[in-house]
Amino acid sequence: MRIFTLAFKDLLQTTRDVRTAVFVVVMPLLFTYFLIAVNGGASGSSTDSRLALAFINHDPNGIVSAQFFNLLGNSEVVRLGVPDENAQARISEQVRDGTYTAAVIVPAGYSEQLIAGTPVKPQVIVDQGSESGQSALNAIETASDRLQGALQTARQTTQTFEARQPFTDATARQNFFNEALAAATGAWKTPTLTVRTEQGGTQSTGNQVSPATQLSPGILVQFVVLGLVSICVVFFLERKTQTLSRMLTTPISPLGILLGHGLAMAGLIFFQEILLITFGQIAFGVDYLRDPLAVLLVMVALAVWAASLGLLIAVFARVMEQVVMFSLIAMFTLSTLGGCWFPLEITGPVFSTIGHLTPSAWAMEGFQNVIVRGQGIGAVLLPVGILMAYTVVFFSIVTWKFQRRTSLNMA
C-alpha cells in the first residue's frame, strides 16, 4: 500500500509540472505528426513514389507505340506523364530541372518500321550520371526488351496460324498480328511465375509498409526516455534534499521506495504509450489493433524497462543537469541504434547486429511484428522477454547503487 501511495505522490507532483505535458504529450505528438507528414503520410497512402517519365509519341496511331506505352505504364519504377505541346518543346529543360526524371520520344513511323523488321529505337533524354536517371533508363530498356520479345512472339504466332489457315486478306492478317501483339505485351501484366521474398508471417495487402508504420512506433520508443525526466527530477531532488533519508526512517523499505518511484514512471510511460498509439491508429491508420493483446504486452514491457532506465539515471546523476543530459544521451543513442528512425533491415549486418543489442530495437521488433508483419502474440514473446531481461539487469544495478548509497548515508 505504501508503494502505491508513493507512486501516486510522484504522479501528482509530476503532473503539476508544465514540463511533463511538454515531454510526455506535446513533443511526441508534434514529432509524430511532422515526421510522418514529411515522409509520405499515413499507412496505405496512395502517393505514387515512382519516377516521373515523359512520353512523347510522334506515332500516335501505331499499334507498337501504344503497346510500348502500356509496358511503361505497368512499370513499378516509372510513372508516365504526357506533356502538352509547349512542354514538349522544353522537354530537355524539364528533365534538367527535375520536372521529369527522363523523357522518351517515339519517332514517326515507329510501329511501321518495327513491324517490318527494321530496328528503330526511341530517343531517350536522361541524366545517366544520377541514380534516379539510371533507374529510369533501366526501366525504359526493360520495357523496350519486352516489346521486342512481344513483337517476335506476335510474328511467330501469325506465321504459324497462316501456315495452317491462310488469311483472307492483308487486313485480316494485320488484325490478327495486332491481337497477338496485344496478348503478348499484356502477359507482362500478369506473369506466369513471380518470385517474392517475404519475412515470416502473414501481411495483408491493405497494410503495406509505410513511413507511418516505422515512425509511429519509432517516436513512441524514442520518447519513453524523455518522458521520464520529470519523475527522475523528483527522485533526484529527494536524494539531494535528504527526503529519501527521512523516508527510510518510516516503515517503507529501500526496495519499496524504488518500486514506488518505478511504478510512477511506468504508469506515466504507459499513459504516453496509450496516447501515441491512439494517435497513430486514428490519424495515420497504423494497425495497432490488429492484435491488441500482443501490442499490450509490448507496451507493458516497454514501460517497465523504461522505468528501470529512469531509476538508473536518477541514482547515478550527481547534479540536476545530468538527469536531463543522461536522458537525452540515452534517447538519441537508443533511438539511432535501435532502428526508431529507420528499419535496421536496410542497414549493414554489423550495424544491425549492434542495434539488436539495445532494448529499443527489441521494442521496435515487437511492435512491428504486429503492425507490419501481421504476426500475433507468439511473435512478441521474444522481444518482451528481452525487454524484461534488461529490466532485471537495470533494476539490479539500481538496487545495488541505492542500497550502497543508503548505507553510506546511514553511516
Whole-angstrom distance, CA of residue 240 vs CA of residue 246: 12
What single-letter DSSP state applies at residue 198?
A: -
Any idea which of 170-179, 236-245, 282-291, 398-407 has the lowest mean pLDDT? 236-245
Helix 254-284 to helix 229-240 angle (10° resolution) is 160
Q: What's the whole-number mean pLDDT along residues 294-319?
A: 89
Please give the pLDDT value at position 397: 93
pLDDT tops 50 at residue 199: no
Q: How far is CA 127 from CA 93, 103, 149, 407, in A?
A: 11, 10, 27, 71
Sequence-distant (6+) residues with CB within 8 A of 354 are 337
Cα angle for residues 369, 370, 376 (degrees, 5° grid)? 95
Q: What is the mean pLDDT of the chain?
A: 81
CB 338 within 8 A of CB 365: no
Contacts of 292 (CB under 8 A, 6+ apart): none
State residue 4's pLDDT score: 78
Does residue 96 surpass a pLDDT of 50? yes
Give dist(CA 234, CA 238) in Å, integer. 6
Residue pLDDT, tens place only, 382-396: 999 999 999 999 999
Confidence at 263, pLDDT banded by 50, 70, 90? confident
pLDDT digits (tens, 9 = 90+) for 14-65: 677 676 677 677 777 887 777 777 766 554 444 556 788 999 999 988 888 8
CB 360 within 8 A of CB 221: yes
Confidence bin at 299 (pLDDT 50/70/90)? very high
Q: Which DSSP letter does residue 55 get?
A: E
What is the Cα–Cα distance from 270 to 248, expressed in whole angstroms? 28
In degrees and rounded to multiples of 5, residue 80 shows phi and psi of -85, 145
How many C-beta atoms surround the C-beta of residue 74 within 10 A? 16
pLDDT at 43: 46
DSSP classification of residue 25:
I
Residue-level pLDDT at 5: 79
Higher pLDDT, 381 or 51: 381
Highest-pLDDT range among 4-13, 44-53, 170-179, 382-391: 382-391
| φ and ψ of 66, to 5 deg | -65, -40
Residue 370: which region, alpha, beta or left (left: phi > 0; alpha: psi -120 to 50)?
alpha
Q: What is the pLDDT of residue 203?
A: 43
Residue 245: what pLDDT? 63
Percent of the residues in the chain that have a pLDDT greater than 90, as a whole number: 17
pLDDT in tens, 113-152: 988 888 888 999 998 888 788 888 998 999 989 888 888 8
> Pairing between strand 51-57 and 102-106?
parallel
Domain ranges of the chain: 2-41+211-410, 51-186
Q: Report the pLDDT value the prediction gives residue 33, as an integer from 0 to 100.
A: 79
pLDDT, one tens digit per residue, over 329-363 is 888 888 888 888 888 877 778 888 898 999 999 99
Which pLDDT band holds residue 204 (cuts at 50, 70, 90)?
A: very low
- The residue-averaged pLDDT of 301-312 equals 90
pLDDT over 50 (residue 206): no
Residue-level pLDDT at 49: 66
User: How much is the CA Rg of the chain, to the nearest whole Å?
Assistant: 31
Query: In whole angstroms, what is the distance from residue 187 CA to residue 157 CA?
Result: 15
Which of 324, 316, 342, 366 has the alpha carbon at shortest distance from 225? Answer: 324
Mean pLDDT of 212-222: 87
Q: What confidence score (pLDDT) does residue 44 get? A: 47
- Integer angstrom CA distances of residue 294 from 25, 148, 221, 340: 24, 52, 16, 19
CATH of the domain spanning 51-186, picked from 3.40.30, 3.40.1710, 3.40.50, 3.30.420:
3.40.1710
